[in-house]
Structure 1
Amino acid sequence: MSSTKKPPFAVLLVNLGTPDAPTPSAVKKYLAEFLWDRRVVDVARPLWWLILHGIILRFRPGRVAKNYQQVLTDEGSPLLAISKQQRAGLEAKLEETLGEKIPVLLAMTYGSPSMEDVGREMRQLGVEKLVVLPMYPQFSSSTTAAAFDRLAASLKKCPHWPELRFIRDYATYPAYIRALAESVRQSWQSQGKNSEQLIMSFHGIPQRYTTKGDPYERQCHATANALAKELNLADGEWKLTFQSRFGREPWLQPYTDETMKALGAAKTQGLSVICPGFSADCLETLEEIEDENREYFEQAGGTGFTYIPALNSRPEHIQMMQELVIQHTQGW
């Protein structure tokens, strides 16, 4: 152990993950880990193993790899590149606020950097207290709980745990809502508020998750209503939808893709889309929303589609993260 002063605490940012490269083999490895998690797909293991390895991992990686190639940046995967920017931004903001360096670490639930990688880094730094911030504003057992499961699993063989505090969600946290609203206002200002509708598209989950008690759907509605109120929008000026459904069972509705087609068919002129549940732009926003759903809207007859980027490393987002960390580390 280093003799240097131990930090008063450290912060662990956690996001979903991304393949190590935009290649079929890397995507296959990532999907195999991601889709095998019971939190993500809770189908009986023998049946799901046959579906996953017999169908999905044989045919899907090639198509998904092409999609990743389309959104790739000079720094690699958008999700990983933006997450690194968020980590650096939060670390700098905390040092500015507290007057000392607070280590901010980054891990992914699936893929790299792994929880084990971060665990080794924490031990080298002598971290005794850790606040965990999953980058999911709305809690779901399929995302936030999966991150906690992964963290706990990584600590199973560790003889010495840090004291843990876990930020469960921030669906209506005032600074988060204000940051979202500011991003919408700036987008509207740049286009002269040429928008008939604001669509708030959240990642979907199977409807039965809500039936079983998952609070995600309720929290998405709470976020959407808070944002609409902050923007002074009337009921007919905005709509909440859910994207990225997979398989044949009912997912949370209304569906984003069907909404895009309907609004296009209605000859909507001016449509803004924001994805408040995504803290960083990724395949599900850049390819699915900005590309695929834009196409649905325009091919159906709509015009003036605008995607409002995720909060990413915007100053307001970093400020919000800093406020959350300070709030949850009182007494440390």
Structure 2
Amino acid sequence: MAQAPFGVLLANLGTPDEPTPPAVRRYLGQFLWDKRVIDVSRPLWWLILNGFVLRTRPKRVAEAYRGVWQEEGSPLLAIGRRQQRALKARLDAQYGCDVPVELGMTYGNPSMESTANAFRRADVSRILVLPLYPQYSRSTTAAVFDRLADALKPCPALPELRFIRDYHVDDDYIAALAASVREHWEQRGRRNHLLISWHGIPKRYATEGDPYPRQCEATSRALARALGLEDSDWTMTYQSRFGREEWLKPYTDETLKHWDIRAAPGVDVICPGFSADCLETLEEIQEENREYFMDEAGGEDYSYVPALNDRDDHIAMLAGLVARNTRGWE
């Protein structure tokens, strides 16, 4: 089978290699040292990171990873591999040729360097970079750009690159989200309220110009419209804050702890910013925040709507993004 004149890089955040404190320490050391993620003064942050964070956090995070670890590895990696295979199969059929598709992580493995080398071995000179972040943020999408640029520095001949910045209100993306919620309601029943939870960023990043919260709001409104929800039927919050700095509000955990169960004794939770289930959805949302709602707020029913993962409509949407962004490369 002939090879397509381009390759596709699926990029995501990353994961430890093992659910052990040493592996988590290596991963967090790379992740939290990135200035796109934590932009505190380097000498000060080095002392905090190495003197406190990497001494205390890895053991607790490793325990959380052990609770969600799969035979193929972490959920993010296992699902990412399934997404890679499914997208390649669809693109091969769509173009009638071999379309190289690689999975690369900003932190951890498979590294951007290994991905770049795979494309070089396949003689790929045009790469479409598809970060699996529907909403743009400096701490995620921009970090992909930085890491890929670093990985390509040793290349004597740089490939031609196209970069998908975001797809936060793409019609097919919204349709897939809405379909996942409807299917969840059909299979698990429908609760009184839909909570749309997003990964947070420091509030200061948004003040400095990061469009992330505006895009999250736009996606939330589009999803609510697609589901026919009234404003009183859904709420938008932010999860996964880190450190003492103020992050985007309202916070998911505080919202669920103080939920008005008289108005809505049951809640469905969806996290549209995550293209694949991971520690933040399977442990933080599905388990930890469920306890806040049920035990502290006295809620009656709590249900997590899974990420789009390797659903057929999600893969079809990604293939559509590839088709639109590789025009002229066929």
Q: Aligning the two structures, in what range does the TM-score lie when normalised by the shorter sequence?
A: over 0.9
Alpha-carbon distance in structure 1 between the residues aligned to 2:68 and 2:262: 30
Deviation at 1:252, TM superposition (A): 0.4
Does the 8 A contact of 1:7 with 1:126 survive in 2?
A: no
Alpha-carbon distance in structure 1 between the residues aligned to 2:206 and 2:317: 28
**Alignment counterpart, residue 145 of structure 2, candidates 136, 144, 148:** 148
Deviation at 1:264, TM superposition (A): 5.9
Does the 8 A contact of 1:266 with 1:301 survive in 2?
A: no
Matched with 1:303 is 300
Matched with 2:259 is 263
Matched with 1:233 is 229
Q: Give the TM-score normalised by the residue count of structure 2.
A: 0.98
**Alignment counterpart, residue 280 of structure 1, candidates 269, 276, 279:** 276
Does the 8 A contact of 2:3 with 2:97 survive in 1?
A: no
Alpha-carbon distance in structure 1 between the residues aligned to 2:265 and 2:33: 42
Q: Deviations over 1:293-331 (max 9, x none)?
A: 000000120011000000000001000000000000001
Does the 8 A contact of 2:199 with 2:239 survive in 1?
A: yes
Alpha-carbon distance in structure 2 between the residues aligned to 1:260 and 1:267: 13
1:1-332 mapped onto 2 (5 Å cutoff):
6-193=3-190, 195-263=191-259, 266=262, 268-299=264-295, 300-332=297-329
What SS does the corresponding residue of 1:100 show, helix, strand or coil?
Answer: coil
Deviation at 1:269, TM superposition (A): 2.3
Aligned residues: 328
Identity of counterpart residues, as a percentage? 59
Root-mean-square deviation over aligned CA pairs: 1.1
Alpha-carbon distance in structure 2 between the residues aligned to 1:153 and 1:235: 44
Q: Give the TM-score normalised by the residue count of structure 1.
A: 0.97
Which has the higher mean CA deviation after the structures are superposed, 263-272 or 243-252?
A: 263-272
Does the 8 A contact of 1:6 with 1:126 survive in 2?
A: no
What SS does the corresponding residue of 1:110 show, helix, strand or coil?
Answer: strand
Q: Output the amino acid matched with 1:45.
A: R
Q: Which segments of 5 or more consecutive residues in structure 2 lack a partner in the other structure?
A: none
Alpha-carbon distance in structure 1 between the residues aligned to 2:275 and 2:150: 24
Does the 8 A contact of 1:201 with 1:273 survive in 2?
A: yes
Does the 8 A contact of 1:90 with 1:318 survive in 2?
A: yes
Does the 8 A contact of 1:266 with 1:302 survive in 2?
A: no
Deviation at 1:7, TM superposition (A): 3.0
